[in-house]
Structure 1
């Protein structure tokens, strides 16, 4: 049954038939529609965070629709796009400083220093985000790139009202130039070609009792392991170029009196409660975030910020910092997670349970083609919660409409409430042992705290 559903989802995605978030113009009011759950009408003020909100609503759709957009590729593209958006507005905010010298390998040329005369920060940001999306989503279906161009053009037209031709030309050209500079910077991070080939068929996973093996039931494409070299990519922050010596809490063992067996048994026994209609089943599916028919786990984290800012707009200056910091943290979080995954190459629950507990067992979620430890969902969501809690506060409540086809929107009292649910969802889904969740969150906290060291203001 699960395989049938997955194949139908893939087929729907291929023909663009899955219901999508979409924005449309109705009179002078732009509305955001999420499947059956319609949010209240909203008048967008493009001089505020609304500008980035509108762009990210479309980017989230692109993450679903574009071939090759694994969680890793999504994190990278979101990070560079929002870095360009931030760097593009600097002439308009003398109190802000470039991240040049703070990020590994990034040096902003002096010719990009410019005064604020005849300059519009929103116009520059709009141009920069368009340029980044146009280049990073090169494999996106044409119909979606038409939407990208339409958003760029309509936003530029809106923002140009009352501006001199010199201001429009100077701001737009500046934004494009900044984006081109960031794209050149991105070329040297080791991941430039990863969106075109996510799997390395020449990579040979180690073979041993405790080693990860690809689950061919779930792996319909008969691929190799996903991004086995991603751990070698450049992190934005030098402090994040590490797995922080975070390792599994116990040695592998197949014996019933061992901690490893007990951990596997927890997954097995928990799965019996994860039945359709149960809270555990809803949570597992709400945070599934599989590539090709969702916008991935990191996209889900960015969606949370986007939904918060849609309801509680902030200044363009603040939103640029929020999106840039979050994108950088999520990118580094997945590189750190991949360092652990391919260092320990730990077996997944499905292989262990079938071999030592119940040969007929199947988890609720399909097992992805990369090693178990640590949980990437846990690492990135903990990084998200660390960053957003420290920047926005620990009592921001929000309703998450991200997975409208799973069930009712979920309400969270804080970013950590959402992150903790993200993490436990992987146990409910049957694809992670608990130590991968707990230690993964430890890793994400470190990445998040390191990312908070970035200085945006002079």
Structure 2
């Protein structure tokens, strides 16, 4: 009888243990790789949807800021951006006793805010549904309470996001080309597209006092006089291109130009057919460099999101600042002047993007991003940049973020799409903006 009671007791204990273990599911674990996956998927979709570089910068900024703010409320390292970012007010706070998983909420926010900013939502849903299924299977209660909280934050951020004038700029008039002024920008081959985002300086900045806060010095005055500064810079573009072409496709200059091309509007003509090639934007390239840096340093989840958020803010403001100058100076591209006045058969090594020349967008963005990343990860941060490998372009190595930004800027001369002033002044403009951003963000 005693043996039977002991057996029953053991069975009861086992049943209790099983029930107890079933009633307390494992907490959901969120990894940096999952956040990287979300970022990478958004980049892939932006390439597919052919987002312009300025618009792409907006798509990076809001999701990363939202994720950052969710984590900052319980962080000893990173503080809220309230009072630093224009128009932003603090998100709803999670109840400490509610069981909300802040890392999960941050990932949900990145996915959902990104989804609201892209066109091909169904492509992001593939990743989202896969992740959510696993999370639900791990701990349904934690998933649901976290999702409820994340949705409150998402609604809060969307309300702020919707006031940045983006929607208003969608209905503003196209850019008018002044064909009577030889110095003014004109659409370029092969598509002769309208100038993109002529009203981007009306987008609400994140940190800047205004779009013109870091207005650069004016470009050299347009002139075809051979002793003028403009003509000197024009001939530099032409002569450098001629020299590079003689060296062949394997030259270092062409490799640099192609590596930093980052023009999502490139099209290729084959007979009667024209198709676009897949390329990331300048902002996307620097977001991927951010990813490379976080992986090299084995950054934890908080620090990874911090790097993405702060870099994306600088990139977004850099585009606002740059585009403000582009449509103010409205300077003609080298391709147009060279074809009209020097060599009608000349082609730049890179395809000219569809907007005015001064200043160089890649120079401004690279300058700003390099400063912020240097403040986060330090000087002389050597890294191998494999961002362009998916597009058939080999890895390039750099000794620092500043080295990378200098090469990115110079690539515009090698590519034949910018004059020297746009490159040098653009890089200087970007670095000044980057230091301002770093100081305001307390990096």
| Greater length-normalized contact order (CA 8 Å, ≥ 6 residues apart) | 1
Aligned to 2:294: 309
Q: Would the alpha carbon gap of residues 96 and 141 (structure 1) be closer, same or farther in structure 2, given more than 3 Å must change?
A: closer
Q: Would the alpha carbon gap of residues 450 and 409 (structure 1) be closer, same or farther in structure 2, given more than 3 Å must change?
A: same
Aligned residue runs from structure 1 range 54-93, under 5 A: 54-67=37-50, 69-93=51-75
Aligned to 1:140: 120
TM-score, normalised by the number of residues in structure 2: 0.84
- 1:277 to 2:253 alignment: no
> Do the aligned residues in 2 keep the contact of 1:99 with 1:454 (CA within 8 Å)?
no
Aligned to 1:355: 340
- 1:233 to 2:216 alignment: no
Aligned residue runs from structure 1 range 311-326, under 5 A: 311-326=296-311
When the two chains are superposed, the root-mean-square deviation of aligned CA atoms in Å is 2.4
Aligned to 1:126: 107
Output the CA distance in 2 between the equivalents of 1:95 and 1:283: 37
Aligned residue runs from structure 1 range 410-421, under 5 A: 410-421=396-407
Aligned residue runs from structure 1 range 183-194, under 5 A: 183-192=158-167
Aligned residue runs from structure 1 range 122-271, under 5 A: 122-137=103-118, 139-140=119-120, 142=122, 144-153=123-132, 156-157=135-136, 161=138, 165=141, 167-192=142-167, 202-207=174-179, 208-215=181-188, 217-218=189-190, 220=191, 222-239=192-209, 241-271=211-241
Output the CA distance in 1 between the equivalents of 2:440 and 2:131: 29
- Which SS does the other structure have where 1:411 is aligned? strand
- 1:297 to 2:282 alignment: yes
- 1:172 is displaced (CA, Å) by 2.4
In the comparison of the two structures, how many residue pairs are matched? 399
Aligned to 2:11: none
Output the CA distance in 2 between the equivalents of 1:378 and 1:172: 40
- 1:357 is displaced (CA, Å) by 2.1
Deviating beyond 4 angstroms after TM superposition, the runs of 4 or more aligned structure 1 residues are 45-48
Unaligned 5+ segments in structure 1 are 1-44
> Do the aligned residues in 1 keep the contact of 2:86 with 2:205 (CA within 8 Å)?
yes
- 1:395 is displaced (CA, Å) by 1.9
Output the CA distance in 1 between the equivalents of 2:386 and 2:66: 27
Output the CA distance in 2 between the equivalents of 1:189 and 1:155: 35
| Larger deviation, residues 178-187 vs 73-82 | 178-187
| Larger deviation, residues 359-368 vs 69-78 | 359-368
Aligned to 1:100: 82
| Per-residue Cα deviation, 1:305-362 (whole angstroms, up to 9, x for no partner) | 1122233321222122211111111000000000100110011101121223222211
Higher helix proportion (structure 1 or 2): 2
- 1:115 to 2:96 alignment: yes
TM-score, normalised by the number of residues in structure 1: 0.81
| Per-residue Cα deviation, 1:352-396 (whole angstroms, up to 9, x for no partner) | 212232222111111112110000000001111000001101122
- 1:204 is displaced (CA, Å) by 1.0
Output the CA distance in 2 between the equivalents of 1:260 and 1:305: 36
Which of 1 and 2 has greater Rg?
2
Output the CA distance in 1 between the equivalents of 2:131 and 2:365: 30
- Which SS does the other structure have where 1:274 is aligned? helix
Output the CA distance in 2 between the equivalents of 1:294 and 1:313: 28
- Which SS does the other structure have where 1:132 is aligned? helix
> Do the aligned residues in 1 keep the contact of 2:326 with 2:355 (CA within 8 Å)?
yes
Output the CA distance in 2 between the equivalents of 1:155 and 1:272: 56
- 1:425 is displaced (CA, Å) by 0.8
- Which SS does the other structure have where 1:399 is aligned? strand
- 1:337 to 2:322 alignment: yes
- Which SS does the other structure have where 1:239 is aligned? coil
